[in-house]
Amino acid sequence: MNEIFLMKLGEIVLKGANKRQFENKLRQNVRRRMKPYGNFDVYIMQSTVYVQPMDEDADVEGAWEACHSIFGVVSLCRCRPCEKNLDSIYNAIEEYLGDDLDCAKSFKVESKRSDKAFPMTSIAISQEIGGRLAESHPHVEVDVHHPDYVVYVEVRDLAAYVHGPAEPGAGGLPTGVGGRAMCLLSGGIDSPVAAYMMAKRGMEIECVHFFSYPYTSQLAKDKVLELARLVTRYAGRMTVNIVSFTQIQEAIRDNCPEEFFTLIMRRFMMEISQRIAKGDGCGALITGENLGQVASQTMEAMTVTGAVVDIPIFMPLVGMDKEEIVTIARKIGTLDTSILPYEDCCTVFTPKHPKTKPTLGQVLHAERNLDREALIAQALESVEKITVKYHDEPLL
Ligand code: ATP
Ligand code: MG
């Protein structure tokens, strides 16, 4: 094949002794993500992932798009490999980039020589190739300061590679190097973004969703599974735990003072999520909470809801403005699904005047008539585990 993707590693390069482990994880992830697109060879050399289509049937366009959502990559480009001599490099540029170059007002050549055995310096390569290109494209000016188009030449160990401008990668750390966490996924805008952000820091994500049939509909559940599917584009295949929450919500409604409904409900969510998390090897919870957004997201409320768990609760959105969250939701493609109008169980039995500055003592008193253990055990028995992956049919 005459084209190859080069993907530059991000923060992994800084990881010192763990670098090898990070690279292995990334290579594994890229191999898995390329599978649906055909036969690709994936290897890492000199802080660069090489992704090479191995036969004519490979879906190169699909693979290229997928490469943009792999964490651990800062930038990526499509290249033409060629032999390590000036004629081959020049010919490869003419064939592969000649049309792009013709459309530009000005250009320059930028060379990098990581094969130090190559007899010319990078500056000499740029001058020589730039001179030849200036002759064959006389209408495109040479401009080394503010060029309209840059032709890149990389002389590496195995071959030379020529390419145009690189594109930004997904950033972050390779999925799996940051451990595993359980994200409380609702049908809203925030929690899918929270899942994405922690996946970006290298976490494997599992999700839990609480639904209250018949107060919430099958559509609301499908919406959440669809949101999970959209997040798998970045995070990779995941399990979604669906927990029936109806009995707990009815028990709260029947036995607790109204102003504490949401707080008590959220304490159940946290505790049940932690139990499933521990059973599945997750070391943290993730929520889409955001300071001050609603009554249950004050510092005091978070203290009360966090009190039932003993693992960290990651809230990557806690200090962001709604607009910033929406921008990410739009970028990762979850926004349109999130704003579909199916209700969430949090909006069932919402108190008219929720308590915004609760103390733990007040909440413990408010929930004293509930048999917490029995309710939690029952909810845990209802758990349905569903595996979601990006190439599944969309649910909505
Ligand atoms: P979101 O947009 O993520 O729904 P929100 O602003 O609506 O967030 P809340 O409804 O207070 O906020 O929920 C706060 C967090 O609690 C959510 O981000 C999510 O992590 C979790 N959560 C809420 N409802 C559910 C649910 N039904 N199942 C699982 N987790 C939930
Ligand atoms: Mg919500």
pLDDT tens digits for 313-359?
A: 999 999 999 999 999 999 999 999 999 987 766 666 788 889 889 99
Average the pLDDT over 60-78 and give the result.
97
The Å distance, Cα 83 to ligand 1 centre, comes to 55
What pLDDT is recorded for position 133? 96
In short, whether 337's Cβ falls inside 6 Å of ligand 1 is: no
Ligand 1, atom 7: nearest CA belongs to which residue?
Answer: 188
Are 297 and 352 found together in one domain?
A: yes
Place of tokens 């290249």: 79
The Å distance, Cα 355 to ligand 1 centre, comes to 17
Any idea what the CATH number is for the domain that residue 376 is in?
3.40.50.620
Domain presence at residue 46: yes
The answer to whether the CB of 53 falls within 8 A of the CB of 38 is yes
Domain presence at residue 395: no
Q: What is the pLDDT of residues 250-283, one digit of tens each?
A: 999 999 999 999 999 999 999 999 999 999 999 9
In short, whether 354's Cβ falls inside 6 Å of ligand 1 is: no
In short, whether 246's Cβ falls inside 6 Å of ligand 1 is: no
Domain presence at residue 227: yes
In short, whether 296's Cβ falls inside 6 Å of ligand 1 is: yes
Are 129 and 214 found together in one domain?
A: no
The Å distance, Cα 370 to ligand 1 centre, comes to 23
Q: Which ligand is nearest to the CA of 329?
A: 1
| Residue 220 structural domain | 180-388
In short, whether 245's Cβ falls inside 6 Å of ligand 1 is: no
Are 127 and 226 found together in one domain?
A: no
Q: Please identify, by atom number, the ligand 1 atom nearest to the C-alpha of residue 286.
A: 20
* Closest to 245 in 3D by CA, of 217, 210, 214: 210
Domain presence at residue 165: yes
Domain presence at residue 339: yes
Last residue of one domain, picked from the residues 137, 170, 203:
170
Rounded to 10 deg, the angle between the 122-136 and 86-103 helix axes is 50
In short, whether 288's Cβ falls inside 6 Å of ligand 1 is: yes
Are 150 and 192 found together in one domain?
A: no
Q: Please identify, by atom number, the ligand 1 atom nearest to the C-alpha of residue 347.
A: 10
Report the residue among 182, 183, 184, 242 best suited for mutation to probe ligand 1: largest number of ligand atoms under 8 A from its CB.
184
Q: Is 362 exposed, middle or buried (0-12, 13-18, 19+ CB in 10 A)?
A: middle
Q: What angle do CA 131, 133, 137 make, to 5 degrees?
A: 125
Q: Please identify, by atom number, the ligand 1 atom nearest to the C-alpha of residue 344.
A: 27
In short, whether 227's Cβ falls inside 6 Å of ligand 1 is: no
In whole angstroms, what is the distance from residue 105 CA to residue 185 CA?
49
Any idea what the CATH number is for the domain that residue 157 is in?
3.30.2130.30
Domain presence at residue 166: yes
Domain presence at residue 175: no
What pLDDT is recorded for position 151? 97
CA distances (Å), origin 145, targets 90, 107, 108, 126, 150: 22, 9, 8, 14, 11
Q: Please identify, by atom number, the ligand 1 atom nearest to the C-alpha of residue 184.
A: 30
Are 32 and 107 found together in one domain?
A: yes
The Å distance, Cα 185 to ligand 2 centre, comes to 9
Are 330 and 191 found together in one domain?
A: yes
The Å distance, Cα 148 to ligand 2 centre, comes to 46
Q: What is the pLDDT of residues 175-197, one digit of tens each?
A: 999 999 999 999 999 999 999 99
Q: Please identify, by atom number, the ligand 1 atom nearest to the C-alpha of residue 297.
A: 11
- Identify residue 347 by its one-letter amino acid code: T
Q: Please identify, by atom number, the ligand 1 atom nearest to the C-alpha of residue 296.
A: 11
Q: Please identify, by atom number, the ligand 1 atom nearest to the C-alpha of residue 345.
A: 27
Residues contacting residue 323 through CB under 8 Å, at least 6 positions apart: none
Are 145 and 251 found together in one domain?
A: no
What pLDDT is recorded for position 218? 87
CA distances (Å), origin 172, targets 12, 100, 203, 323, 331: 9, 31, 10, 22, 15
The Å distance, Cα 302 to ligand 1 centre, comes to 13
Q: Is 256 exposed, middle or buried (0-12, 13-18, 19+ CB in 10 A)?
A: buried
Q: How many domains does the chain have?
A: 2
Last residue of one domain, picked from the residues 170, 190, 209:
170
* Closest to 219 in 3D by CA, of 8, 395, 42: 395
A 10 A CB-CB count for 382 gives 15
In short, whether 274's Cβ falls inside 6 Å of ligand 1 is: no
Are 209 and 186 found together in one domain?
A: yes
Average the pLDDT over 31-60 and give the result.
94
Are 201 and 142 found together in one domain?
A: no
Are 225 and 165 found together in one domain?
A: no
Secondary structure letter of residue 313 according to DSSP: E
Rounded to 10 deg, the angle between the 218-235 and 322-332 helix axes is 80
Global pTM reads: 0.93
Report the residue among 305, 313, 346 best suited for mutation to probe ligand 1: largest number of ligand atoms under 8 A from its CB.
346
Using a pLDDT cut of 90, give the percent of the chain over it.
Answer: 86
Instruction: Quote the mean pLDDT of the chain.
Output: 94
Domain presence at residue 330: yes
Band of residue 300 on the pLDDT scale cut at 50, 70, 90: very high
Are 191 and 340 found together in one domain?
A: yes
CA distances (Å), origin 4, targets 29, 81, 94, 277, 344: 18, 7, 17, 40, 45
Tokens standing for residue 83 = 């032999």
Last residue of one domain, picked from the residues 113, 136, 170:
170
Are 364 and 225 found together in one domain?
A: yes
Band of residue 165 on the pLDDT scale cut at 50, 70, 90: very high
Q: Please identify, by atom number, the ligand 1 atom nearest to the C-alpha of residue 294.
A: 11
Around ion ligand 2, residues with a beta carbon closer than 5 Å are 186, 188, 344
Q: What is the pLDDT of residues 198-250, one digit of tens each?
A: 999 999 999 999 999 888 888 899 999 999 999 999 999 999 999 999 999 99
A 10 A CB-CB count for 231 gives 27
What pLDDT is recorded for position 295? 77
